[in-house]
Structure formats: structure tokens, C-alpha cells
Amino acid sequence: MPHAPREEEGGTGPVKRTRFQNITRKLWWLHSFGGLTISLSMMLLSRAGLAYADKLLIALIGSWLLVFVALRFIVGPANRKDDEHFVRKGVRVATNYIIKQFYQQMFFFLVPIYASSATWALGTWNWWLAPILFVCGVLSTIDLVFDNFIMERRWLASIMYGLALFGMINVLLPLTVGITHFEALLAAAAMTPTAVALLSFSVGQVVSPQGVLLALAATAGLVSAVWYGREFVPPAPLAMTEATVGHGTYGGYECLPPSKHVIRADQLDNLRCGSLLREPGGLKEDIVHIWRHGSVEVARVDARSSPALTKLEGCDGPDNIVYRSELPKAKLPKDPTGEWSCTTETVHGQLVGIRKFEVVGPDTTKPVPAPVPLPVPDGGTPKPPDAAPARDSR
């Protein structure tokens, strides 16, 4: 497949294209649209692909090595010559096309995983990664942009690959090694700067004293950022598919409580929250429920410190797990009316999901039952029970 046609450089006026060049340019846009369609369809199969996480990790390592060799020795303006022979040019075009496929598959594989793990609610910010991955995936399918702009700038191609590398390591390590999501997040942050540096600069520059110091500083900065900003990165591929808040008597086969969005202040007995969670291979760490009244934390319930949080396995399917907590009555404020939320987090502080509800005042307008007519003999007229006795007209 030929390289995407590049704009001619030099000259003061606009470049006049031939009819063949115009047709070729349109065909490349058509090819880009086809690649985008295929990549979008593959998003539907991304979570199923997590069952092969070990193989994906091997493919990730292989793809990084390929991109490293390609950027260093084959593609890019530094490796292109005006008088290069046909074979070298063909190798460069084929390598560029393979790299582009790696970019597309990695980005579109990650988008639905991070989107399903993110919390799409006002006031939460751990959803930002999914749109960025999607934009990078779309750009990698547009041949004229990827070939003529991204691959012509090694630093930009390296940053894009570093973003995909970070996302893949963060997802695959909990599945292949069995570590927690927070440990995988720290590992991804520690590995990414060095990988990007090796792709962007020569090995001699990276291993020089100045390069080592810069790489260590970048690594320390990124690790510190994810340490303090862990709530802004979802614990993918862990996803909360449903969350409910209910009250009253427990049901005989209850996993999730009956869902309520508005609850009366005089009906807060057995107030409880349930989170239906799903993760390939099972959960990697414990879960915490945080009850908030407005912005004030009322209670933090976890299985290690309180039996109020229970883990119910096999609810609504063998791969689903429900964590259900009950708010202790002693934690209820004197005036419980207002906005409430039950936030689900990992024990290391990564946001899994949030469920909001409202507590309103007790119902003071209970309906008065209608009067029941008193029984009378046949042929008479029934009287209401509160009817006043008739007065003597005399």
C-alpha cells in the first residue's frame, strides 16, 4: 500500500495537483474512513479480548520493540533520503502501515474499557482518559494526518504511543500478574517516561548523565501525579454496572436493595447502598462505601473495619459481585434532609462509581379517610356517621 500523498514543499503559490493526484487523495480519505469503521467495530469486542490478557501483554512488548526500531531506523524524516531505492522505500511504507495498525488497535481496544470503568457524573473527573484515547484512535486512522503530521514528528508519535502504553499496562498488569489497580497504576507511571524517552531521543542521550536525571525527574513527577491524583484514573477494567440505594425491610433474595431516588426522613430505617461490580478474573482489591450528606462525609464503611459492608458473590450472574453496606443509625445527622451520595471506591482511593439520592421531610399531608355511611333499615336513607341530629321545628 503506498504512502499517503504528502504536500509538496517549497514555492510561493498554491500547489497545483494533477487529476491523478486528486483521485489518489480522495482514495486515501476513503481508506481512512474504512479503517475508522473497522476500528469502531472492534471496540465491541475489546472486553472479550481481556480473557487473553497474557497474550496481549506479549503483543504489547513486541509492538513497542517494533515501534522503537521503526522510529529509530526506518520511518520518519531522519531516515528518508531523496535518492532512496525502491526496496528501502517499500520497507519504509510497509513498516509505517504496520505501526499505524498498532496505534489504531491499541487505542480502540482501550477506549470502551476505560469508558465502562469511568464515572460519568457531574462533579467527577475520572472519565477524561477515554475521550483522549478516542481522539488519538481517530487520528491514527486518518492517513493524511498520521503519515504527514504525526509520523513526521518523532516526539509526537512517541507521546501518543506513551499514552497507549500507559493505558495498556494499567489494564493488563492486574489481569496477568494479579496486583491491585493502584499498584498497576504506579507501575504504568514508572515505565512510561523511559519508554517515551527511548522513542524520542537516541539511546546515548537517554543514558547520559543529563538524560538519566531528566528521565528520573519525569518518572518521579508522573508517579507523584498518579499517587495524589489516583481518583482521576479509573481502576480499569473494573466496572460498576449498577448501583442502588434503598431502605426498609430486607427482601428474602435481595442482593441489590430496591432502588429509590427520594426517601422520606422518617423512613430511613435500614438505609443501605449496593454496588454491582464486574471484573475479568475477579476483583483484585477490596471496596469501600463512602456515605456523604452534601459534601460532608458521614461514614466510611469497609469490610476490614465494619461488618456493615457485605460481599455477595454470584448475584445476577457468576461474574458479578455485589458490595452492600448499611448506614449505621448513629451516623445519621439530626437533620438528614438534603442531597446524599454513596460513593464506591477501591481501598486505595480510586473512584469506581457514585450513586446520588435525596432525603426529604416526612409527609405531613396524609390523606383523611372518607366517612363510611352507617347501615340503616331497608327503604331508609343512609346517614353519614358525623351527621348532626335533626332539631324539633316546634
Predicted TM-score (pTM) of the model is 0.76
Residue 345 has pLDDT above 90, yes or no: yes
Averaged pLDDT, 249-265: 92
Which pLDDT value is given to residue 184?
95
Residue 304 has pLDDT above 80, yes or no: no
Residue 65 has pLDDT above 60, yes or no: yes
CATH topology of domain 239-360: Immunoglobulin-like (2.60.40)
Which of the pair, 248 or 23, is modelled with greater confidence? Answer: 248
Which pLDDT value is given to residue 108?
85
Q: What is the pLDDT of residues 5-59, one digit of tens each?
A: 444 444 455 556 665 555 555 555 554 555 555 555 555 555 565 666 667 667 7
Q: CA–CA separation, 69 vs 73, rounded Å?
A: 6
Residue 350 has pLDDT above 80, yes or no: yes
Residue 1 has pLDDT above 50, yes or no: no
Indicate where the chain has its CATH 2.60.40.10 domain(s): 239-360
Which pLDDT value is given to residue 163?
92
Residue 74 has pLDDT above 90, yes or no: no
